Structure 1
Amino acid sequence: MLSIGGSIGAGLFVGSGHAIAEAGPAAIIAYLLASLLVVLVMRMLGEMACAMPDSGSFSTYAGRAIGPWAGFMIGWMYWWYWVLVLPLEATAAANILNSWFPQIEVWKFCVAVTFVLTLSNLASVKNYGELEFWFSVVKVSAIILFIAGGVAAIVGVIPGVHINVEGNVFGQGGFFPRGVTPIAGAMLTTMFTFLGTEVVTIAAAESANPEREISRAINSVVWRISLFYIGSIFVIISILPWNTPALTEIGSYQAVLQSIHVPFAKPLIDLLILVAVCSCLNSGLYTASRMIYSLGEKKQAPAIVKYTTRTGVPVVAVIASTSAAFAGCAANYLAPKYVFEALLSTTGTMALLVYLVITVSQLRMRQTLVASNKLKVRMWLHPFLGLLVVFLILVAFVGLLIGEAHRGEVLSTLGLSTALALTGVFVERRRRSRI
C-alpha cells in the first residue's frame, strides 16, 4: 500500500486542474509521457535497490556510480525539497481544518498537524508504515470510486447528466488549444505530483525482506500509474471543457463531482485532500529524515544525525527535518511572500533532476551489478531505454528553458544543484585529506 499511495498526493486531486488549464486536453499526453518516465526510472531504481537496499536510495547509488559529489548534491537537494514542501502541505491541511473550525487560527493547526505526524515518525518505522497504509487505503478507494462514477456519467448511466465527450475534448479549440509547447509546462506539474513514488525504495530498506518488497512495489508501478493518473485525467477532460474556471479555482476532482451532481462534493473532497496532505507530510518527514541520516553515515552531514533509538529510529534526523519544516512554516507566514516563493522555486524541476541522476547511476552501475550476480530486477532493453529516458529529460529541460513560464524555476534548481555539487567536491576532498 505504501508503494501504491506514495505517488498519490493532493497534486492529483487539485493540481491536475492546473495542468489541464495550461495544456488543454493535451495534458493527458503530459501525463502519459511523465508516466512513461516514472515507470522506466522506477524500474532502473528497483534494479539497484533490490541489489543494494539502502535508506539513502538513489543518493547512495549516485555516490557509488557517479561520484561522492553527486550523492552529496542529490541527497541534500532531495532533503531540501521535502523540508520546503512540508510547510505547503501543513498549510493546506491547516486551511481545511480552519474552514471546519474557524475559531482556531490557521498557524495553530499548521503546527499541530506537523507535531502529531512528527510523533508518529519518532515512535517507530512500524507506526509510520501503519499510518501510511490507512492513508493509502482512503486515497486508493476514493480514486477508484471517482473513476467509476466518471465512467458512469460518460456512458449516460447517471440520470439527468449528459456528457458531450467529443465537444469537451475536441470542441474547445481542438485537442491542442494552446499548441504543443505548453505540454512541457504541464509535464513539470505532472512530475511534481509523481515525486514520491521512489519513497518505497527508502522505506523497504527497513523491511524484513527488502529485495522481495522492492520487487513487488516496482512491478506494481505500471498498472498503478495507468489506472490512477491516466484514468483520472481521461475522466476529467471528458466531463469538463479544459477552460472551465472551476478546474483551477476549486480543483479538478471537486469540479467534476459537482458537475455530475454528487451531493456533498466539497466536504468529501476536503476530507480527501486532508488525508492526502497528511499522507504527504507523514511520508515527507520520514523520507527527509532517512535521507539526512544516510548523508550522515557517509560523512556528508553532521555525525549527530546518525543517532538512533533502540527501535532504530534516527531521532535526531527526524527532529532536524521537522525543525527545518517549522522554519519553512515561519518563513511562509512571517516573511514577505516572495522570500518563500524564491526558496520554493529552487525545487521547481527537482523531479526531473532526481530522475536524471537515477538513470545515469543505473547506466553506469549495470556492469558492476551483473558482475556481482545480485540482479533480481532487470531494466528492460538496457541500455536503450535508459538512454531514451536521458534524452526525454534533457528535451524537457530545454523545453522549459525555452518557455518563459518555468525558466526561472529551471535556472534556480540548476543553480542550487551546481552550488551543492561544488560543495560536495570540497567536502570529499577535505574528508580524504584527513584520512
Structure 2
Amino acid sequence: MTSQPSLAKEDRLPGEPGDAQVPDSGLKAGLKNRHLSMIAIGGVIGAGLFVGSGSGIAAAGPAILLSYALVGVMVVFVMRMLGEMAAARPSSGSFSAYADRALGRWAGFSIGWLYWFFWVVVLAVEATAGAKILHDWVPGVPQWGWALIVMVVLTATNLASVSSYGEFEFWFAGIKVVAIGGFVIIGLLAVFGVLPGSDNPGEGFAHLTDAGGFFPKGYGAILTGVLMVVFSFMGSEIVTLAAGESEDPRRAVTKATNSVIWRIAVFYLGSIFIVLTLLKWNDPSIVADGSYVAALKTIGIPHADQIMNVIVLTAVLSCLNSGLYTASRMAFSLGERGDAPKSFARTNKRGVPRVAILSSVVFGFVAVFFNYEWPDTVFAFLLNSSGAVALFVWLVICFTQLRMRGIILREQPEKLTVKMWGFPYLTWLTIGMISFVLVYMLFDDSGREQVLLSLLVAAIVIVIAVVKEKVLAGRAAAYSGVKDDVTAS
C-alpha cells in the first residue's frame, strides 16, 4: 500500500484521509488504483446513454453531437475544478465538505442532502429498469421481486467492504467500456464499408447531412438536446468521493480528472457519432428500438436487442452499485460533520458505514414501492424534484472552487497540484453556462416542472440548514454567556 504523509487533525477536512484510514471515522483505504481508474472511466457511462440517446437524436438530429459536446465541455470544466480541490484535500464528503469550508455550513448541509436525495431516487429508477429486463427474461418472478433481489444483492456487496464495491464496479464498468469500445470500432469499419459480412451499405459520413442537413430541427434544437442529455453525465464526480478510501487519493484524483476529456470524447461523442453515421437521424428504429440496438441491427449483428439488454443491465447494476455507495458516503460525511445523525458516521471493523448504507437503501426501497404503487403521483414528484439537482451540484462546485483556491494557496500551496485552467475566467464561464441551462429549462415544457420542484426542495433544505445554523449559534452563545457568568462569580 502506498503511504501518504499524515495531516494534522486541524488541517484536515471531515473525511480527509491521513495514513491508512480516516483517523476519526474508521474509513479504510480498501480501493486499489485499478478500482479507482475503472470507477472514473465507468462513472461517465450511465444507462441513460444507452436508453435515452434515441430521444435526443430524434429531437435535434445530427446536431445532438453539438449538444453532447457542449455538456461535455461543461462537465470537463466542473471535473477540473473538483479535481483541483480533491487532489489538494481528498475527502469522503467531496464537494459537500468543500462547500462547508468555503461557503458556509448551510451550503455543505444543503448540497450534501440534495445529492443524497438525488442518488436514493436514482436507486429506485435503476432498480425498476433492471427488474424490467430481468422480468422479460424470467417472467416467473414478478417485477417487484427482481427489484428487491437486485437491491438486496448490491446492498450486501456494499456492506461487505469497500473493496467489494470496488471489485464489483471494476467488472461492471469494464463490461461497459469494452462494449462501447467494440461498438465504436465495429461501427467505424461498417461506416466505411470494410466490415466483413456487414449489411450496412457503408455510406461514410453522408447520413450526417442527407436528411435535412446537419441542423434539420434548427439551431435552437441544440439547446433542446442539451436538456435531454445533461443528466446522463451525472456520476463523473463519484471518483472524488471514492478517492478518500483509496491507496493514493491524490494520484487517483489527478489521473481521473486528466482523463475525463478523452473519456467523454470516446464514450459519448464517439458512440453517438457512430449511430448517426450508420443510420439517418430520422430512422424510426432509433426511437423504436433504441439508438444502439438500431445501429447494431443495421450492421447485421444477430440478436442485437438481447446483446444490448445485457449491456444495459450491466450499466443499471453499475449505477445501482455506485449510487448506493455514493449516497452512503455522503450520508457518512454529513453525519461526521454533525449535519446528520451521528450514527451515520460510525463504521464497523471493516471500515464500512453500515448505518449510512442501510438508511440510504431503506429510502431506496421506499421509493421503489412508490414507483409501483403511485408512479404518476408520489414517485413522479420524487423524480421531478431531484431532476435538476445535478445542475445545482455543479453550480455549487464552481462557486466553492472560487473560494477554495484562495484557502488552499493560503494554507497548503504545495498541494495545489491540479489547477483549473484559465482561473477564474473559465470558472465564471461555467457558472454562466449552467445558469443558462437552468433558465432555459424554465421556458421548456419538459424541463419547467423539474426545475421548479427541484428549486422548491432545495429551498426547503436551505431553510432547514439556516435555521439549524442559527439554533446552534444561539446555543453556543448561551453556553458562552453561562460560562462567563460562572467564571465571573
Q: Please, what TM-score do these two structures have when normalized by structure 1?
A: 0.97
Is 1:45 paired with 2:82?
Answer: yes
The aligned counterpart of 2:169 is 132
Measured after TM superposition, the shift of residue 167 of structure 1 is 4.7
Measured after TM superposition, the shift of residue 101 of structure 1 is 0.7
The aligned counterpart of 2:459 is 418
The aligned counterpart of 1:24 is 61
Match for 2:52: what amino acid? G
Cα distance in 2 for partners of 1:237, 1:34 equals 18
Measured after TM superposition, the shift of residue 310 of structure 1 is 0.8
Cα distance in 1 for partners of 2:374, 2:152 equals 22
Cα distance in 1 for partners of 2:54, 2:207 equals 14
The aligned counterpart of 2:139 is 102
Match for 1:195: what amino acid? M
After superposition, give the CA deviation of every residue in 1:299-323 in whole Å (9 maximum; x if it has no partner).
1111221121011110000000000
Gaps of 5+ in 2: 1-37, 477-489
Pick from 444, 447, 459: which aligns with 1:406? 447
The aligned counterpart of 1:382 is 423
Measured after TM superposition, the shift of residue 336 of structure 1 is 4.7
Measured after TM superposition, the shift of residue 165 of structure 1 is 5.0
C-alpha contact 1:56 1:294 (8 A) present in aligned 2: yes
The aligned counterpart of 1:370 is 409
Pick from 179, 189, 213: which aligns with 1:152? 189
The aligned counterpart of 1:173 is 212
Match for 1:371: what amino acid? R
Cα distance in 1 for partners of 2:303, 2:82 equals 41
The aligned counterpart of 2:70 is 33
The aligned counterpart of 1:314 is 353
The aligned counterpart of 1:192 is 231
Cα distance in 2 for partners of 1:134, 1:384 equals 39
SS at match of 1:388: helix
Pick from 43, 48, 72: which aligns with 2:109? 72
Name the CA shift for 1:180/1:19 in 2 (closer, same or farther; >3 Å).
same
After superposition, give the CA deviation of every residue in 1:172-215 in whole Å (9 maximum; x if it has no partner).
23222222333223223322111101000000111121111111
SS at match of 1:157: coil
Q: Please, what TM-score do these two structures have when normalized by structure 2?
A: 0.87
Cα distance in 2 for partners of 1:146, 1:432 equals 57
The aligned counterpart of 1:7 is 44
After superposition, give the CA deviation of every residue in 1:211-267 in whole Å (9 maximum; x if it has no partner).
111111111111111111110111111112222232223221111101111112111
Cα distance in 2 for partners of 1:144, 1:42 equals 23
The aligned counterpart of 2:383 is 344
Measured after TM superposition, the shift of residue 139 of structure 1 is 0.6
C-alpha contact 2:130 2:317 (8 A) present in aligned 1: yes
The aligned counterpart of 2:470 is 429
Q: Which has the larger radius of gyration?
A: 2
The aligned counterpart of 1:289 is 328
C-alpha contact 1:14 1:248 (8 A) present in aligned 2: no
The aligned counterpart of 2:9 is none
The aligned counterpart of 2:287 is 248
Cα distance in 1 for partners of 2:227, 2:326 equals 21
Cα distance in 2 for partners of 1:176, 1:350 equals 30
State, as a whole percentage, how many aligned pairs show the same letter: 47
Measured after TM superposition, the shift of residue 98 of structure 1 is 0.9
C-alpha contact 2:111 2:393 (8 A) present in aligned 1: yes
- What is the root-mean-square deviation of aligned Cα atoms in Å? 1.3
Which residues of 2 match residues 176-325 of structure 1 at below 5 A? 176-325=215-364
C-alpha contact 2:297 2:304 (8 A) present in aligned 1: yes
The alignment of Structure 1 onto Structure 2 pairs a total of residues equal to 435
Cα distance in 2 for partners of 1:186, 1:347 equals 20
Cα distance in 1 for partners of 2:272, 2:152 equals 34
C-alpha contact 2:193 2:203 (8 A) present in aligned 1: no
SS at match of 2:177: helix
C-alpha contact 1:12 1:193 (8 A) present in aligned 2: yes
Pick from 294, 310, 329: which aligns with 2:368? 329
Match for 1:362: what amino acid? Q
The aligned counterpart of 2:158 is 121
> Which segment drifts farther, 180-189 or 94-103?
180-189
After superposition, give the CA deviation of every residue in 1:3-24 in whole Å (9 maximum; x if it has no partner).
0011111111111111111211
